[in-house]
Structure 1
Amino acid sequence: MRTPHVVVVMGVAGTGKTTIGPLLAARLGVPYAEGDDFHPPANIAKMSAGHPLDDADRWPWLDAIGSWAHGREGLGGVVSGSALKRSYRDRLRAAAPGVVFLHLTGDRHLIEDRMSRRQGHFMPTALLDSQFATLQPLGADEAGVAVDVSGTPAEITARAVRALDTLPDPAPQR
């Protein structure tokens, strides 16, 4: 039996991290953690006011996600988090070296449409351009896969499971 990966579901706002993350965790039989829950209140207030976060805002958030991921190494888990820059993913890997990334990708118009229809989320569609400007797709040397977000959540989740199955088993923890 394969040891489950710790998967960070990443991508710009509106790609479905909060929808796909729990579905993926259920399919893999591992716990799910909502990345937004790791944000300090000041980050939520800043984004709610229409201001993008800067790196100084993100470091404590990334460290909290990394700590959760580290605690799940060898056990598996799924956590959402934008992880838009390589430096953010490097920070997560420093905390949890076996983490892999599921990059949810899609057409900007589809993502904007989905964002405009969601209720009660703190991230306004006005910040989508800043998200795309910040995004650095996974490098060839990064453990992870990209999955298109067109289709239903079930279809996206099935594509994600198939793509993750192509990754090598995580290294055993010492």
Structure 2
Amino acid sequence: MNRFVIMGVAGSGKSLIGDGLARALGGRYVDGDDLHPASNIAKMSRGEPLTDDDRWPWLDLVGGALAAPAEGPLLVGCSALKRAYRDRIRTAVKGPVMFLHLAGSRALIESRMSSRKGHFMPTSLLDSQFAALEPPGADEESVTVNIDQTPDAIVAELATRIRAQVG
């Protein structure tokens, strides 16, 4: 398996971990935020949570990015909060995708979101993110890590667990 989605609520570290993990695995990272239509970014910037109808076209773009030919592992950062979203991505890819869930407490993630600069997602949307979150089920190809550790430790844990599962 060489297609991965770095998933989690806003502020969980998808971009930072995705970039580091791509380097560790010798792959490439694509930030799913860059795939959002301008209307989605404007809506979130106003503090309005996205609806499923807002997300479907974006999830199709995430799936398309993952389905594109790539040399080595390809990782895309995407919240992928609901099972239906992950199913949509898998359908677009037409192949196996492993979801790497960055899990953490609301307090930790809020503190991280409050300290980041220049991102369109306000902390006021964090509750809606946690309300929508459906962690990957036992029947989904996934790895969950606790983000209450350094970025280097998270990347190392993910790389080890991916290698153990994928071989």
TM-score by length of 1: 0.92
Alignment match of 1:80 (pick from 73, 77, 80): 77
CA contact (8 A) 1:144 1:164 kept: no
CA contact (8 A) 2:143 2:161 kept: yes
Is the counterpart of residue 60 in structure 1 residue 85 in structure 2?
no
Go from structure 1 to structure 2 and tell me whether the alpha carbon gap of 1:64 and 1:76 turns closer, same or farther (over 3 Å shift): same
- 1:126 Cα deviation after fit: 0.5
Q: Work out the CA distance in 1 between the residues paired with 2:148 and 2:53.
A: 33
* Deviations 1:118-170 (CA, angstroms, capped at 9, x unpaired): 0010000000000000000000000011011012111111111112123235x
| CA RMSD after TM alignment | 1.3
AA matched with 2:24: R
Task: List 4+ stretches of structure 1 deviating above 4 A.
Answer: none
Alignment match of 1:15 (pick from 12, 16, 19): 12
- 1:24 Cα deviation after fit: 0.4
The equivalent residue for 1:94 is 91
Go from structure 1 to structure 2 and tell me whether the alpha carbon gap of 1:74 and 1:136 turns closer, same or farther (over 3 Å shift): farther
AA matched with 1:62: L
Alignment match of 1:105 (pick from 100, 103, 106): 103
- Aligned positions of 1:136-155 closer than 5 A: 136-155=134-153
- 1:86 Cα deviation after fit: 0.1
- 1:80 Cα deviation after fit: 0.1
The equivalent residue for 2:127 is 129
CA contact (8 A) 2:22 2:73 kept: no
Q: Work out the CA distance in 1 between the residues paired with 2:114 and 2:49.
A: 17
Go from structure 1 to structure 2 and tell me whether the alpha carbon gap of 1:77 and 1:62 turns closer, same or farther (over 3 Å shift): same
* Deviations 1:61-116 (CA, angstroms, capped at 9, x unpaired): 10001011111478420110000000000000111221110000011111110000
Alignment size in residue pairs:
166
- Aligned positions of 1:163-174 closer than 5 A: 163-168=161-166
Q: Unaligned stretches of 5+ in structure 1?
A: 170-174
Q: Which stretch of the first structure deviates more once superposed, 157-166 or 39-48? A: 157-166
CA contact (8 A) 1:6 1:73 kept: no
Q: Unaligned stretches of 5+ in structure 2?
A: none
AA matched with 1:158: A
